[in-house]
Amino acid sequence: MSITSQDELFGMQQISNAVAETLKQMREHAVPGMSTRELDDFGGHILTKMGARSAPKLTYGFPGWTCISVNNEVAHGIPTEHKILKEGDLINIDVSAELNGFWADNGGSFILGRDFNQLQPLVDVSKQILKKAISEIKGGVKIAEIGKLIETQARHAGYKVIKNLAGHGVGRSLHEEPHDILNCYDRYNHQRFKKNSIVAIETFIATHSTYADQQADGWTLVGNRGGYVAQHEHTIMITGGMPVILTAANEIWS
């Protein structure tokens, strides 16, 4: 969406804060021995308390309040009572929701407890690349150039990107134009970022895979060549200079 009034900006700030606070508190609440269903229910309670409604439930009938992906899962992991978190797990939580007709989206990956698999560098690179990408976004910048930046930065760090997952416009629904803010260069995409528009920017940085394949459950995505993937995401408002990070309260860069 494009922000045309203070009321619209306030609406986006409210829902962005709701999803950001939910993500932050879910990360802090996660402990070894907890099921992903327990963690998801905790997040659902926070959203409900804030008056927000789960976007994946509302839009797609997703079987969870949030998406919780663990270890080899890239995205859209279904929370269940059978999936028990363990120390050293790479966990990704993606929280998106609606409040008063406004929608926002954010996510982050983290290591639970001790880093047995030495994946903290992957998580850190994903954060750093997202920060760099967002710092380069302003009205008039080509979307493809940001994809090129993400892909180049990942390669220089010794990693790959997932090429079939993307950031997107957001605001009046969960997914809006532009739909394909890719993590790689698309020479056929001539779209440019528009001042005052709202987008969700996300990184998918991988150790081995370059594409995400959907599993038999119809939701969970796993890398085509195995390994691990770290994802970080902010909802931002584009300006003529530095973007406004609406989901900054999630503290994924801390």
Annotated binding-site ranges: 76, 94, 105, 168, 175, 202, 233
3-class SS at 108? strand
Residue 151 CA to residue 234 CA, distance in Å, equals 18
Do residues 197 and 148 touch, judged by C-beta distance below 8 A? Answer: no
- Residue numbers belonging to the annotated binding site for a divalent metal cation: 94, 105, 168, 202, 233
Radius of gyration of the chain from Cα atoms? Answer: 17
Annotated binding-site ranges for substrate = 76, 175
| Residues 79, 64 contacting (CB under 8 angstroms) | yes
Closest CA to 141 of 192, 73, 88: 192
Of 1, 18, 20, 4, whose CA–CA distance to 233 is shortest?
20
Burial 135-173 (b: 16+ CB within 10 A, else e): eebeeeeebbbbbbbbbebbeeeebbbbbbbbbbbbbbe
Residue whose C-alpha is closest to residue 246's, from 209, 182, 173, 196: 196
